[in-house]
Every structure is written in structure tokens, then in C-alpha cells.
Structure 1
Amino acid sequence: MAPNALMIGTAAAVLLSYWFNHLSRSYRVPSVMLLLLAGVLVRVATHAYHATVALPQALISTLGTAGLVLIVLEGALDLRLDLGRRRFLLSTFGAAALGVGLTTVALGVMMSAVFGLPMPLALLAGAPFGVISSSVAIPTSEMLNRDEREFVIYESSWSDILGVMLFNALLVASMGGTVALHLIGGGFAVLALGVAVALGVYWLVGNLEGNVKFIPVLSALILVYALADAMHLSPLLIVLILGLTLNNSQLLHGIRWLRWMHNDALESELERLKHLTAELTFFVRTFFFLLLGYTTDITTLVDPHAWLYAIVIVVLVFALRWPALRLTTGPGKRQALWIAPRGLITATLFFSLPTRVSTLLPSATLVLVVLITGVVMSLGLKLEERGALGST
């Protein structure tokens, strides 16, 4: 591809994504759906002119991983912790854990019955679809009131973390390991590592000098994430701990032996980090979903088997979400009921499945699940909005 064409395409994609964000706020349509559809249309156009470019699957997976790190960090940097809000923290954790667990088990039972998989492999195949995608949920939550938005940010972040932990544990189990041992041991290991990384970055953000400081910090974070992931730990917990530590530094002031780490420049530097993270997240998310749509063969989207599996998965996702929220938060989260999208985290985990498992589902199932959950979420939020307006 000519350099000029690549530059034009990259710039046009960013501008298109920015426009999609504005459309998303106006019409309650997730911008990632529009990006996916745009990628599919570009694929159709290039195929018609015999100019289709083959993209390596590793490129999509790498973008997905980078986007996941940035999205969870961006969400965590917006969260304020209050020691008096234990009930809220437990309810969001419980909603995420119950949602991931129920959906994974239900899909695992279905896939075991349909494909004849042993239960560890069947649960592994269902795990990617059991996770709420924070890459879609967090931007969508901007449309909600502050309480609902905060709930969605916490729940989707917990869902990503717990989903990855469960996926890695099931992956170990499929190779003959023990799920409980990996979850407990890996959880404590990554918690200790997360605290160490968070304290180190906390000091660096306030004390590094020069014009270039945040790209090296983010690069170090991605390096730690990749190393922890290679050991089948749950590195998203590291990212969440880091974001919470930076945005809640007041909690460290009461710890005497950590006071020396505080720097008065931290608050201003933290604002710069937030802006940079938001910009990078927007950029990576744009190209992940565009390329995911581009790598989807349009002919596979009319496969009736792909539609059947996708619809069954989506029905289970939303059918199980109601009891999960009801049991953990009560009847008050009506809008949050509809925010159960599948997206970047689902695709990232799906691409990490063993080939003998991922090839059982039709190739378009993943994209269809992302699109249908987005449509259901959009329609559900519009219905809730009209209902609220009608009752006033």
C-alpha cells in the first residue's frame, strides 16, 4: 500500500470515528457498531475492486490487548474510592461475578451438548461471551446519570478482570491443571504485583522530569501486562489497581511510610495522563473495530447457523443478566440491565481459544454477537428513556 494512501486512510478513519462518537450520543447507537459496519463496507468495496488486503490475525489481537489495557485504565482513572461505600463495591463485584459465572456455565452446558465437548473445553468456549465489554459499556455509560454510569464502569471493569481470570483458569484446566488453585494462587500473585506496580508508577508520575514521561510509563504497564498474561495470570487487575491508586492518592496519605512518595505536582500530571489515555484509547478502539469488521467476510454474515448461535448466545446473556442484577443490586438498575455488550474483550479472548474450539462456531458468530448485543442495548436504553419521559 502506498504511503500516501495509508496516511489518507488512517486520517479518514480517525475523523470518521470521531463523527461516529457524536452520532452515538445523539441516537444512542454504540459507536463500535458503526465502526464494525464501516469496516465491513470497506471490505465489500475493496473486494469489488480486487484490492482486498490480507491482515494478520496477530494485528487484531495485539490491538485488542492494547485497547483493553487502555480502556480499563481510563475507566479506573475516573473512579473515586470512599471507604464508606463497601456495599456499592461489593454489589458491583457481585453483579459482575454472578453475570460472568452464570453466562459461562449456561453457554458451556449448551456447547457441551451441541458439540460434544468435555466440560472444561465447553466452559472455555463459553467464557469469552460471558464477559461484559468495558470498551463498549464505558463509552455508552456517558449517556446515563452519574450513579448509573459509576455502576456500569465498576461492573464492566470487574467483569473484564474476572472474565480474564476465569478464562485463564479454564485454559489451564483444559491442559490438565486445577481451576481453583490457579484462580486463588494467581489472584494473590497478581494482587501483590499490582500493588508494587501501582506504587512505582505513583512515584514516577509525580517525579519524572522532561516533556516525555507518560508514553514510557504506559509502555512499562503494557510490558508488565504482557508478562503477567504470558504466565496466565489476570493482568487487568494490575491495570485497575494502578488507576485506582493514582486517582485516589488521598488514601495513601494516611500511611506514614508512604508519605515520602507524594509530590505536589501529582494532581496536574494526573490530568495530563487522563487526557493522553483517553486519546490513545479512542485511537486504538477505532482501528480495532474497523479492522475486525474489515477481516469479516461478508458472505459469512448470511450464514443461518451463525445467526442461530449468535441469537441463542444473546438471549442467554440478557436472560441471565436480570437475575444477576436483581440478586446483587435490587430492582433499581433498570438502565444497567440493558448494558451487557460484547466487544473488544470478547474478541480478544475468542482469538485466544485453541483452534479446535474456536473453529466449532461459524466464523461470523463473534461479529454478530457484538452487533446484536449493541442493537439490544441501544433499543433497551431508548425504551427506558421513553418510559421515563412518559412517567413525568
Structure 2
Amino acid sequence: MPSPDVYWLALRSARGVGPRTCKLLIEKFGAPEKIFQLNADEIAAAGVPRNTARSIAEFRDFEPLEKELCELPNIGARLLKWTDADYPPNLRQIADPPPFLFVRGTAQLSDPTCIAIVGARAASDIGRRMAQRLGLELAAKGFTVVSGLARGIDGEAHQGALDAHGKTLAVLGCGVDVIYPAEHRKLADAILAGGGALVSELPIGTQPLAENFPTRNRILSGLCLGVVIVEAAEKSGSLITARMALEQDRQVFAVPGSPLSGKTRGSNRLLKEGAKLVECVEDVIEELAPQMAGRPVATRIVPDEPVPRPPTPAMPAPRAEIPPIAQSAEGAKAPEIVSDAATTILGNLKESERLHVDSIIESSGLNAQTVLRLLLELELEGRVTQHPGKLFSLA
């Protein structure tokens, strides 16, 4: 008989099951082990597509999931479930919360006073200094700094929080036992040693594939009261995070940059569209003050000597923050596979004015991560438009 926690992993592993379906079924039936006691007709009656209901009812591959749970203590990680009292309160409020998180580190995620700082991987020196300063001053005032452990802005925000002896969380697009990029291993160790945590909804051992990052970004923004964009080009993952934050009713902030720099065109556009301008940490705190009413924020004393920084490696040539997914053994992309899958999604969208992402996943026969990655690519190419509520249409 599988342990109760295994059923959580099994529910998310069943074909066609995404975060919304997990939430629907758990709210309807309670603990996942009860769901696996139902037949396909009973599961479908809850509003789940019949193919998905059948995949849940017929799921039997519990053994590798048991092994995964047994491995968690060996890497200092734990499973944090949606029904646990210390599940992040901000994250619980979004439309598609992860049913569980893998958390590596001692930090409790129940603190609602989280603020995200994200931006360009190939950041300017000024952008790096600004991210480090914001991370330090927010952490010194008792906020938890959240970012994605990427090169550039993310790394500086984490390090700033560590310099203040504050808490910082890294939300990963890979398993919590996989450090990406590899040169941030010392930074990850410092986050863990400083009482922070590495967080992911992905199974341990999962590599940083491109399809993981759009879904990762909804967790990053969902954990927080607001998201600060320090530097972002016109087409960047940071803008996707900003859009997700708006859909989650989070405050979006942006640091202004020179109009002559391509690194800040995206963040400057956010300011034109209504993001709050940030020149200092007080700009963030004053805007969030109404939400902070009644929530005490402890002020930490910033040490005279900052925490030693890990050595900064030489920056590689700029490339996309998200690594490519479809590659052959020689490293060449396989565009024909992506093209066929994208054509399937476009064909489904032609038959309806607007489709919810869950409907696209179901009708395409592709896994959720692949569909989300392709929708992101098609949106950046101007062929697909996303509407509030995770609805998509042809552009």
C-alpha cells in the first residue's frame, strides 16, 4: 500500500492532470488517496475530461514515486502539500497553485511578506548594483527576497539579501537537487546556510529544460506581494513573470533605464503600462503598505561587513536565459518536432475564439509543460495572444 504522500505525486504524474485539475479534485474529494479509490466515471463527474479521469483511475506506477520520497531526506528536502498549514498563503490564492512543492532548506514558506526581484541575465553593472541594493535593503527590513537563481539580476538579488543576513528563496525551473547555472552552486549553498530555501514543483533530478520556466515563473510571482523588474529586454522571461503577477493581482514594479539601452526597453514599457517606478526601496514599501497593514515587519541589522560573496565567474556571451529543449545528441535543435507540435496547437485554436490552456493540453495530446512552452514561443512570435484567465486565441 503506497504511503499517503505518494498519492500526491501520483495525481500530478497522471497524464492530462495539471495544477487546476489537482485543485479541483482535492477540493471535491479531499486527500489524493481518496481520489485513487474512485473509478473513471466518478472522477469525470467532478468536471474532469474523461481521458484524464481514466488516466487517474488506471494509474499504477507508484514504486518510483516511493523511491523519490525516500530520497528527499538525503538531499535535505521535504514535500510541502497544498493542504499543509505552512503552505505559502500568497501562493494558495492563485488560480493554478502547485499541489505540492519540493522545499530544500530550513526556511518556512508561510511568511507572506515576500517580494520578488527579477531581471536580465546579461545585466549591466548598474542593474546588478541596483538588484543587490534592493535585495539587501528589503531583507534588512524583514522581507523575504524571492528570485530565480539565474545569472545577472537574480543572483545579485539573492546575494544582497544574504549580505543583510536576511532570508531569500530561489524558485527553480529544475529539481531542487539540480543547481542551474552550475556556477551558482556556492550561492545556492549560501542560501541554504543562511536559512533560506530552494523551491520547485518539479521532481528531483529534473533538468532545466525550457518548458519548465514559464510554469516556474507563476510560482515565483505567486509567492510574493509584488515583483520588481530591474532590467528586461522587450522579449524576456521577466516580462512573462510581470504578466503573470498582474493576472495574480500582484503589484508590478520596474526600475527605469536609459531609452538608449536595449536591456531596459521591456522594463520601461512596463512603466508606460502602469507599473510602479522604483528608484529606492521606499518606493516598494510605500506602495505595499496597505497590504502590510497589521503584518509586523521586523527590521534586521545589516552587518558592518557583508557576507563574503562567491567569486563572480566570467560572463559568457549573452544568450537566452532559458536553455533550448529540443536538441539532438550533437546539440542541434530539432525544429521539425517543435513545428509539428506548434501546428497542432494552432489548429486547435482555429476552431475556437478562445481556449483555456487546460483545453489545449487535453485536445493536443501533448504534456502540459510542452504546451506551455510552445504557447510562450508562439506568443513571442506574435501568432498567439494570451487573455486573462489563461485563455488563448490566434493573434
TM category, shorter? under 0.3
Select the structure that is richer in strand: 2
TM-score (norm 2): 0.27
TM-score (norm 1): 0.27
